[in-house]
């Protein structure tokens, strides 16, 4: 993840969010993790004067987090007077599990979503009917009519 302020970000990710530095390399690259078997996050210092460009879909990350610790995390961030984009809330997903989330902002305004682990795991399960359902939708989407008139295939 590209950052403008490496030292502020390292402080935030380690002291506020509890990640541990697992590797530091030349060129302002630092890798952190929540522990063995967990994902790793690399932050990379942008060259001085370089604009942080997120386009329209970058600058967001999500972590599964113990449900019973989300409130404590939010309280810690509030106590440090650091920004919270979305306070702890339960999001309902019709027909599926509800999830608790809190969305924070790091020093470079990257969105960090902490999702309650229990709901996240329920929502992440593979639907055994997924292939069947997508094939049915493809058959019914009338794309053959679109291509029949000589339109280019994607």
Q: Does residue 112 surpass a pLDDT of 80?
A: yes
Bridge-partner residues for 31, per DSSP?
A: 23, 42
Q: What's the pLDDT tens digit per position in 49-89?
A: 888 877 666 778 999 999 999 999 999 999 999 999 999 99
Alpha carbon distance 100, 92 (integer Å): 9
CA Rg, the chain, in Å? Answer: 20
Q: What's the pLDDT tens digit per position in 11-40?
A: 999 999 999 999 999 878 999 999 999 999
**Mean residue pLDDT across the chain:** 89
Q: What is the pTM for the complete model shown?
A: 0.77
Quote the tokens at residue 33: 């993790």
CATH topology agreement for domains 1-49 and 58-127: yes
The pLDDT confidence band at residue 93, using thresholds 50, 70 and 90, is confident
Are the beta carbons of 118 and 67 closer than 8 angstroms? yes
Please determine, looking at this structure, whether the domain spanning 1-49 carries the CATH number 3.10.180.10.
yes
Please determine, looking at this structure, whether the domain spanning 58-127 carries the CATH number 3.10.180.10.
yes
Quote the tokens at residue 74: 């939010």
Domains of the chain, by residue range, sit at: 1-49, 58-127
Q: Does residue 148 surpass a pLDDT of 90?
A: no
Alpha carbon distance 100, 102 (integer Å): 7
């Amino acid at each position: 993840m590209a950052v403008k302020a490496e030292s502020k970000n390292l402080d935030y990710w380690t002291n506020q969010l509890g990640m541990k530095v697992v590797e530091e390399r030349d060129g302002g690259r630092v890798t952190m993790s929540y522990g063995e078997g967990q994902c790793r996050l690399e932050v990379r210092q942008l060259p001085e004067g370089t604009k942080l460009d997120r386009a329209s879909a970058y600058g967001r990350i999500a972590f599964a987090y113990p449900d019973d610790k989300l409130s404590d995390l939010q309280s810690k961030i509030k106590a440090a007077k650091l920004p919270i984009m979305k306070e702890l809330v339960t999001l309902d997903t019709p027909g599926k599990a509800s999830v608790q989330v809190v969305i924070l902002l790091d020093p470079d305004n990257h969105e960090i979503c902490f999702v309650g682990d229990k709901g996240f795991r329920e929502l992440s399960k593979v639907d055994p009917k997924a292939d069947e359902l997508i094939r049915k939708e493809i058959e019914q989407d009338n794309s053959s009519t679109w291509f029949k008139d000589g339109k280019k295939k994607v």
